[in-house]
Amino acid sequence: MVKAVDAEAPTAVALLEKIVNINSGTMNLAGVLKVKDVIEPQLAALGFKTKWVPMDQLTGRAGDLIAEHACSLGSGKCGKRILLIGHMDTVFEPSSTFQKYEIVPGTGGRVATGPGIGDMKGGLVVMLSSLQAMKAAGVLDTAEITIVLSGDEERHGTPTSIARRDMIDAAKHSDLALEFENASRNGGVDGRDAVRIGRRSAISWKLEVTGKSGHSSAVFGKSLGYGAIYELARILDQFRAELAEPGLTYNVGLVLGGATAERNADDTGGTATGKTNVIPPVALANGDLRTLNDDQTVRIKGKMELIVRDHLPGTSARIEFQDSYPAMGVTPASEALLAKLQDVNATLGYAKEEVTDPVQGGAGDIAFVAPYIPGLVGVGAMGAGAHAEGETAYLDSLPIQAKRMAVLMYRLSQEK
Ligand SMILES: [Zn+2]
């Protein structure tokens, strides 16, 4: 497998260049299809049964590529059922000025840049390289592998129940997941490789506060009370003072209040009017919440609701949560999988990988499968600057990750 990855390394870089140069911003549905058209035949050539599930009519996004590889030994004799997940879209739409694959000057050809090169076209290449190496070594036949590549990881279609249905269904008949998102190398191109086994949730919340309006001389009084802005300030300050715990962050990103206050359609701003001598009847705030695991999510949402309900006189308030991504908590099963990866590193003569704290980095699709199976997060290309123009991938990380994943998948496929 190691020899096969090394032999194919130049082909892998050429494939990376080819797919990075295809714009596949999430809303460029035709571009996502073009990436699919490159990947699908390669999986078919490896013996995968592939299926394209269009989503344009269902969620307004391109769709999911599903590929299944059956184990040749027959039921009962096969090892762990492996799920590989990833995505074909990027955050860079055709309107972006960042469109082309290039080698970064002055890096000795080691670092390349391009839209989605790390997040996660490099991961698609790592995935294919590892499977091709297994094929070359004659060990792919006995592996049961399902691949689900979405076309909308960066900007989910809705409803989520349909947008993530294929991934969740695949998780229900798999034993573990490997997520080929970008990985980090701590300290840059010459730093230490890192992996993670947890991802925090991404939840947003909206506060709507109301109060009685009237002449400011009567504020704090029995008939008019405190007004909506003092009530909003009370709630936010209690959040600040009372919610903090390890691994949790919560931010307030937008506040509006006064005689009138209204959010815009995108929830990215709004309008407010008010006078210094009028008690404000309305106040609004938008914020987020990131948690380590679903227990923490439930506990913190409960605390927030209690704080919101403890109204100042003459006011009322309610909070609404919107879950974008659940949390992928660290579990004994994911720690066991990590230990197997570290054994693979030892076999290959690589240093032990560092384990990135879930507090760093954002949410991701693997969280949707995490309630069913353990997984490794970020086993794709290493690099820096994901989601920003100038995003990079360290080209030497591609064969390294492909070797790790080939050996790991082989071993898992041999385990009962
Ligand atoms: Zn990604």
Radius of gyration for the alpha carbons in the chain, expressed in angstroms and rounded: 25
pLDDT in tens, 331-355: 999 999 999 999 999 999 999 999 9
- Both tokens assigned to 102: 């290039």
**Phi–psi pair at 31, nearest 5 degrees:** -70, -40
- Spatial separation of the C-alpha atoms in residues 99 and 23, rounded to whole Å: 7
Q: What pLDDT is attached to residue 266?
A: 83
Cα(181) to ligand 1 centroid in Å equals: 5
pLDDT grade, residue 108 (50/70/90)? very high
Cα(172) to ligand 1 centroid in Å equals: 22
Residues 6+ apart with CB under 8 A from 298: none
pLDDT in tens, 286-332: 999 999 999 999 999 999 999 999 999 999 999 999 998 899 999 99
Cα(5) to ligand 1 centroid in Å equals: 24
Cα(92) to ligand 1 centroid in Å equals: 12
Cα(272) to ligand 1 centroid in Å equals: 36
Residue 359: how many other CB atoms lie within 10 Å:
13
Residue appearing with tokens 């979405």:
150
Cα(208) to ligand 1 centroid in Å equals: 33
- Percent of residues, the chain, with pLDDT higher than 90: 94
Cα(323) to ligand 1 centroid in Å equals: 18
Cα(46) to ligand 1 centroid in Å equals: 24
Which one-letter amino acid corresponds to residue 122? G
Cα(120) to ligand 1 centroid in Å equals: 5
Cα(284) to ligand 1 centroid in Å equals: 32
Cα(93) to ligand 1 centroid in Å equals: 14
pLDDT in tens, 200-242: 999 999 999 999 999 999 999 999 999 999 999 999 999 999 9
- Spatial separation of the C-alpha atoms in residues 380 and 401, rounded to whole Å: 7
- Both tokens assigned to 87: 């995505």
User: Residue length, the chain?
Assistant: 416
Residues with CB under 5 A from ligand 1 (ion): 119-120, 181
pLDDT in tens, 43-63: 999 999 999 999 999 999 999
Nearest to 382 by CA among 147, 92, 119, 177: 119
Cα(245) to ligand 1 centroid in Å equals: 28
Residue appearing with tokens 């959010």:
263
What does the pLDDT average to over 107-126?
A: 97
Packing angle between helix 122-136 and helix 397-414, nearest 10 degrees?
50
Cα(248) to ligand 1 centroid in Å equals: 22
Phi-psi region of 187 (alpha: psi -120 to 50; beta: other; left: phi over 0): left
Residue appearing with tokens 């309610």:
318
pLDDT grade, residue 76 (50/70/90)? confident
- Where helices occur in 310-355 by DSSP H, the ranges are 332-348
Cα(253) to ligand 1 centroid in Å equals: 24
Bridge partner residues of 101 (DSSP)? none
Cα(45) to ligand 1 centroid in Å equals: 25
pTM of the model: 0.89
Q: What pLDDT is attached to residue 268?
A: 87
Cα(182) to ligand 1 centroid in Å equals: 7
Cα(115) to ligand 1 centroid in Å equals: 12
> Computed from CA positions of residues 364, 367, 368, 373, in that sequence, does the dihedral angle turn out positive or negative?
positive
- Spatial separation of the C-alpha atoms in residues 400 and 338, rounded to whole Å: 17
- Spatial separation of the C-alpha atoms in residues 262 and 211, rounded to whole Å: 15
Cα(364) to ligand 1 centroid in Å equals: 7
- Spatial separation of the C-alpha atoms in residues 114 and 200, rounded to whole Å: 27
pLDDT grade, residue 360 (50/70/90)? confident
Residue 317: how many other CB atoms lie within 10 Å:
22
Cα(153) to ligand 1 centroid in Å equals: 6
